Amino acid sequence: MAELGGMLAAAILKVVGEQIGSVIGGQITLKMNFDEDLNKMKMALEGVDALLDDAERRSIKDKSTRLWLKRLKDFMYEVSDMIDEFEADTQAIIQPSARKSSFKKYLATMISCLTIGPEFTMANKMDSMRQGLEEITDQHKKFKLMEGTNASEPKVTDIRETSSTLETHIIGRTMEKEKILASLSESMKKEITILPIYGIGGLGKTTLAKMLYNSSQFREYSQVWVYVSQTFDLKKIGNSIISQLSQKENESGYTGKQMIRNSLQKLTAHKNILIVLDDLWEDNNSHLEELMGLLKVEESGKVVVIVTTRYEGIAKKICTIQPHKLAPLTDDQCWNIIKQKSEFELRDDKEELHHIGQDIASKCRGVALAAQSLGHMLHSLSFDEWESVRKSDFWNLSNSEDTTLTHALASLKLSYSVMPSYLKICFAYCAIFPKGYKIVKDDLIHQWISLGFIKATNNSSTWQLGEKCIRQLLGLSFLEHSKSTPTTGMDYENGRLFTMHDLVHDLARLVMVDEVHVASKEGNTGGGCCHFALLHDCCKPLESSKIRALRFMGCDKSELHDATFSSAKSMRVLDLSKCSMHKFPDSIHVLKQLRYLSAPRIQDGEIPDSITKLSKLIYLNLHGSPKILALPESIGEIEGLMYLDLSGCSRIEELPDSLRRLKELVHLDLSNCSCVRGISAFLGSLKKLQYLNLSYCPNIGEIPEDLSGLSKLQYLNLSFSSYLQYCQEAEFLGAFTKLEYLNLSSDHSVLQKLPEALGRFIQLKYLNLSGCRDMTILPMFSGSLKNLAHLDLSHCYSIYRLQEALVGLTNLRYLNLRDTCLKPQLEDDGTKFHRKRSCLLGSPLENNHYGNYFQSLINHLGNNLIDLEHLDLSYNRSLERIPESICRMRKLHTLDLSECILLAKIPESIHTLVSLKFLYLKGCDLLCTIPQLGGSTVSLPYFVVRAGDDESSSNLVLLQSTNPIELQISELENVKSPGEAHRIKLVEKHRLKDLKLEWTRGVERIVYDKILLKNLVPPSTLKKLEICGYNGVSFPAWLVGQLPNLVSLVLRDMANVEEWNMSYSNDEKHVIQTLEIYGCPMLRMKRPLPKAKSWVISHSDNVLSSMDECTVSHTRASSTSPITTVLSVKYCKGPHRWRLLQHFTGVSSLSIHNCGDLTGSPQITHHLSSLEALCLEDEHMEELPKWLGELASLHSLEIRWSNGVTKLNETMRQLTMLQSLNLSYCNNLSLPHWLGELTSLKELC
């Protein structure tokens, strides 16, 4: 189906026509007499442009017309390359000194430098190009093409940004879902059930699979989702299943099939598992048999596999039960989708259009994706245009035997055909991405700009037009928002990732059939006529000189070679983000046409000077390269640079002074450049900046006076930068009237006041003032900030009259008042000091005063900000009750009341907030009773597992959409299946730092503790972990070894646990700060021992003895000794319990509590030569051990709760280094006369 290849001609002709027009009249063309040739070319293009509408329509069926359009298109590329090449050659002649003047001024200097040779060659080439173009354009006459006008062409409407986030109703699949579930219930007695769902692309197979995946019937199952697509890789499928079952962040890397099988054998033992294999294309019998063999694992529980595929043959080969053929939607269902997407019911002519619309819906042939796309396209079309769509030639295509697939593609082609030319080429370019790829919005727009697909107009910048294209493609369902893990709060950059449906991707590849070269992993050969390339091997050279855009996939572990792209002299876009970049290739300078260069994570300390020869570069991304020490001094020679990302280049100290010459710079990101300084000297000269991120730049000095000159700023982030250390009144902000994002958060800010002009920033969406402790007054927004959605005032201790400032913020969705002391009136310094002290200490009188103001504020929020979704009132120590008015916030999703220590009442009606998902109540100790919450509300961080509504599952699955910093899950014995634990995906909650898992002792379990704990793998970001009441015999392998950031581990009340086999898979040198073991009497440690600086061992005799056995039998384990400096042993009375001390020679602090008679344990002191602090506590102790006097380095000695001790041991006279002696609750002890001999003693109590 190559008939769409001709439909790009008009779009490319427009791009090249604009390029020709931009150079006509320049001094170079006048001097060399090129204007005449260029004008003739332009006229030839204009003459044929009016005929292209008819030519593109004919090219669908007519091969000769299609071939003519291809020749015209290819010639356009050659003309474009010729112009770019000439410009590059002439710019190379210009001396750097001459470049400082304007283009017109230095052209005269440059002209005299041109030699006769190049002029003659260029003139010949220009003349040849003109004649060739005239010859091709004249060929249109034999086709007798009709002139058309763009005025009558249907236009694609621009949807409002919020429409893509509206909840869409799934039409027509509920009955099929129930039918499949019933079929599965009958067959799931088998060890493995494989149910394929097959049907054409766009019909809804993946949607139906998602409905099954999220069904309550599979809550008890461990769940796996694998996107297979056209590239069948059995090892990749196996590793993906392993990674999801083991809840590892990164995909496992097993290379052998037997290794994969062995791993799956362990992971699936006695488990019920649901696996979805989405979009399977492989039909090779042996490969499918291998896949089925991989899925059939011995000793597993029930395994249910749902496969989606387009082909019935594949479905019948792999099934174990009857495959389900997905039926098309009915015409009425398609019509309902079209009506919904086109907002049909709001039209005045809906009665006249009804029959036309039904006819169009019937042409969708039941394909949901086609109906969605057509519905959006029809949104703003007139009656005549609806009629034109119904009669379009696209419906008459019959290339495929499957008429449903033909009509599905035809509907998408029709949507594509009515796009404006700029949108056609922007969409078609997306064919360069592989199927299923997550496309980054900002990068895509910059690539469009670099390739010349979108040009600025008098009314819109290139960026604004790029965002318009994104919105239009979303509306057409040609792009879809990628679903990411939900997080607490609102993300300003939400919606930056997109994907394409497979059928839409097929359409893009059809349009770009002769334009995109996708190389196999075996090599980069072929594609000699293509202009865009997706490669899988960056070690091999690209055998094409016409490539304009090049990106790599799967090259993270292979190093980029010099010859990979050295021949691609026409390249505009080079994306190296998936390559291993040790250093820039030396050949980078030959890419004279390069506009876009993404090369993050450079491992070399220097950027070559040759990069500054890339004079046309507009985008440069070097983020995450901490080894880079400096940029080339001549970086300012890239005068057209618009985007520069140096975030995370933390070793750069000085930026070149030539940066001030980057007058076109729009985006500058220096976040986390912790060493950089001196940027204030040039910042004010970058007048076109729209995006400036200086967050976490502590050494950039004070705010420059000319910063206010950056009046075009839309994004400004100064959080935790030194600019906030010196600025009390930010009057300079008043100049930034176009701001959409402003972040001034800091722990060391001295900011006291914002300019009143801020209240008139009508485009502002995000404002973060967190940590501005001295801020007293907010501007009176007075309803002007109608777009403000995010306001963070956490840790602001001095703000007054906030209620008045919030008036009119009707669009506010996120409000953070964490640890904020609010007051109704301005205070003098004395009152301010008293109020701060009251807030911190909780004075009842003051708390009542400010608590009343908080009640009034919440009433105001409930009455006026009814669309608020996230409200954080945590750490407000004056808040005593939450008023009923909060229940008017019908969209409230998250309410954080953590550490509101005086809070005693929450309204009973809070259960009516059906949208409330998360309620944080940590530290609300006066809250005696918690009202009944809605069925979907989660109380955090304290989550109690309860039986679910249907008694077949628990409420644990409610944690699936949470991502808290702290989480405590209790009563885990109520979990019904390990699949519930797997579904909440703890391993993906990367905000989680503190986790407690607790079972109730002595209560019957439904799921074995070890199986459950195996499915509760925390994320690698975790810092604190506590496990209580666990009754398994051993621990899963992930404990400690797979938690590289862990600093504290507590194991408590584990009567049955016997062994702990450590594994340090990530970092064998990882040392945690604190390890505490309480009530684990059977636990025996095995090598390698955990590495901890501080140990607490209580009621766990076998821990001591087994540690001694480990270290005796393996002398290498004695390396633990210098690591551990603090040791506390409590209630351990087993024999030989003190032998382990000989292996802790680095201990400087030792506590022994109620461990029996110590007088007969002289070995305690043999290896404690470094001991400085000792604490002894034992209510049954009658005398102190004699070995105390041998602790020559002892500085501090504490003896507590020892009423049986009547005197100090004589040997203690030798403790000449002792400085502190604490004798607490030793009522019968008398002090000796020799105490004065302890000359270093300073403290006695």
pLDDT digits (tens, 9 = 90+) for 807-854: 888 889 999 999 987 766 554 555 555 545 554 444 444 455 555 777
Band (pLDDT 50/70/90 cuts) for residue 30 is very low
Quick check: 107 pLDDT over 50? Answer: no
Question: Does 302 share its domain with 408?
Answer: no
3-class SS at 237? helix
What gap in Å lies between CA 906 and CA 927, rounded to an integer?
Answer: 8
Are 628 and 651 in contact, with CB atoms under 8 Å apart? Answer: yes
Residue ranges of the alpha helices (H) in 947-993? 978-983
pLDDT of 767 reads 93
CB burial of residue 318 (10 Å; 0-12, 13-18, 19+): buried
Residue 10 lies in a domain: yes
pLDDT of 1028 reads 96
Beta bridge partners of 1127: 1095, 1150
3-class SS at 1244? strand
**Greatest mean pLDDT range, 489-498, 513-522, 553-562:** 513-522
Average the pLDDT over 326-352 and give the result: 86
The overall average pLDDT reported for the chain is 80
Q: Where are the beta strands (DSSP E) in 520-618?
A: 532-535, 549-552, 555-559, 573-575, 579-580, 596-598
Residue 272 lies in a domain: yes
What gap in Å lies between CA 962 and CA 507, rounded to an integer?
Answer: 37
Q: Where are the beta strands (DSSP E) in 632-672?
A: 643-645, 667-669
Quick check: 316 pLDDT over 80? Answer: yes
For residue 232, give the CATH number of its domain: 3.40.50.300
Give me the DSSP letters along 733-746.
GGG-TT-SEEE---
Quick check: 758 pLDDT over 60? Answer: yes
Question: Does 321 share its domain with 343?
Answer: no
Quick check: 694 pLDDT over 90? Answer: yes
Average the pLDDT over 715-735 and give the result: 87
Quick check: 593 pLDDT over 60? Answer: yes
Question: Does 9 share its domain with 145?
Answer: yes
pLDDT of 1018 reads 92
pLDDT of 813 reads 92
Structure tokens at 105: 């001024």
**CA distances (Å), 310 to each of 278, 405, 444, in order?**
10, 10, 29
pLDDT of 490 reads 46
Question: Does 306 share its domain with 409?
Answer: no
**CA distances (Å), 338 to each of 260, 282, 332, 386, in order?**
46, 34, 10, 12
Of 915, 935, 955, which closes a domain?
935
pLDDT of 675 reads 94
Average the pLDDT over 755-765 and give the result: 85
Quick check: 692 pLDDT over 90? Answer: yes
Quick check: 150 pLDDT over 50? Answer: no
Residue 289 phi/psi, 5° resolution? -65, -40
Residue of 713 and 91 predicted with greater confidence: 713
Q: How many CB atoms lie within 10 A of CB 173?
A: 19
Quick check: 368 pLDDT over 50? Answer: yes
Quick check: 53 pLDDT over 80? Answer: no
Q: How far apart are the first and last CA of the chain?
A: 93
Q: For the chain, how long is the longest CA-to-CA vector?
A: 124
Structure tokens at 555: 């090259």
Of 295, 325, 355, which closes a domain?
325
Residue 1054 lies in a domain: no
**CA distances (Å), 1040 to each of 242, 978, 1046, 1063, in order?**
20, 21, 7, 8
Question: Does 313 share its domain with 201?
Answer: yes
Residue 1072 lies in a domain: no
Average the pLDDT over 521-537 and give the result: 68
pLDDT of 127 reads 74
Beta bridge partners of 767: 742, 791
CA 368 to chain centre: 29
Quick check: 1120 pLDDT over 70? Answer: no
Average the pLDDT over 959-987 and give the result: 87
Band (pLDDT 50/70/90 cuts) for residue 165 is very low
Question: Does 188 share its domain with 316?
Answer: yes
CB burial of residue 758 (10 Å; 0-12, 13-18, 19+): buried
pLDDT of 629 reads 92
Question: Does 209 share its domain with 305?
Answer: yes
Quick check: 671 pLDDT over 90? Answer: yes
Query: In the chain, what percentage of residues exceed pLDDT 70?
Result: 81
Q: How many CB atoms lie within 10 A of CB 1124?
A: 21
Question: Does 822 share its domain with 849?
Answer: yes
Question: Does 196 share its domain with 66?
Answer: no
Residue of 664 and 477 predicted with greater confidence: 664
What gap in Å lies between CA 778 and CA 801, rounded to an integer?
Answer: 8
Quick check: 489 pLDDT over 50? Answer: no
Contacts of 222 (CB under 8 A, 6+ apart): 245, 271, 272, 273, 274, 978, 979, 982, 1015
Are 20 and 42 in contact, with CB atoms under 8 Å apart? Answer: yes
pTM of the model: 0.71
- Helix 421-429 × helix 9-23 angle, to 10°: 110
Residue of 486 and 24 predicted with greater confidence: 24
Give me the DSSP letters along 712-723.
T-SEEE-TTSGG
Average the pLDDT over 6-29 and give the result: 71
Residue 1164 lies in a domain: yes
Looking at residue 302, what DSSP letter applies? -
Average the pLDDT over 716-723 and give the result: 92
Band (pLDDT 50/70/90 cuts) for residue 887 is confident
Of 395, 419, 443, which closes a domain?
419
Residue 1092 belongs to what H/E stretch? strand 1092-1098
What gap in Å lies between CA 805 and CA 816, rounded to an integer?
Answer: 15
Residue 658 lies in a domain: no
What gap in Å lies between CA 36 and CA 1160, rounded to an integer?
Answer: 109
Interval 222-257: pLDDT, tens: 888 888 877 788 888 888 888 888 766 556 667 677
Quick check: 312 pLDDT over 50? Answer: yes
Residue 1004 lies in a domain: no
Query: In the chain, what percentage of residues exceed pLDDT 90?
Result: 21
What gap in Å lies between CA 367 and CA 378, rounded to an integer?
Answer: 17
Are 912 and 886 in contact, with CB atoms under 8 Å apart? Answer: no
Interval 110-146: pLDDT, tens: 444 444 445 556 667 777 777 777 777 777 666 656 6
3-class SS at 10? helix
Question: Does 197 share its domain with 321?
Answer: yes
pLDDT of 109 reads 45
Residue 1182 lies in a domain: yes
Q: Is 90 left (phi over 0), alpha (psi -120 to 50) or beta?
A: alpha
* Domain count along the chain: 5
Question: Does 851 share its domain with 887?
Answer: yes
pLDDT of 39 reads 80
Question: Does 928 share its domain with 849?
Answer: yes
Structure tokens at 464: 């604004």
**CA distances (Å), 644 to each of 391, 600, 622, 631, in order?**
49, 12, 8, 12
Structure tokens at 54: 């008819």
Best CA proximity match to 818, nearest among 903, 778, 876, 885 = 876
pLDDT of 181 reads 86
Structure tokens at 295: 């899925």
pLDDT of 249 reads 55
What gap in Å lies between CA 554 and CA 409, rounded to an integer?
Answer: 30
Task: Provide the domain limits for residue 849.
Answer: 813-935
Residue 619 belongs to what H/E stretch? strand 619-621
Average the pLDDT over 1173-1197 and give the result: 88
- Report whether the peptide linkage leading into residue 1135 is cis, meaning its omega lies within 30 degrees of zero: no
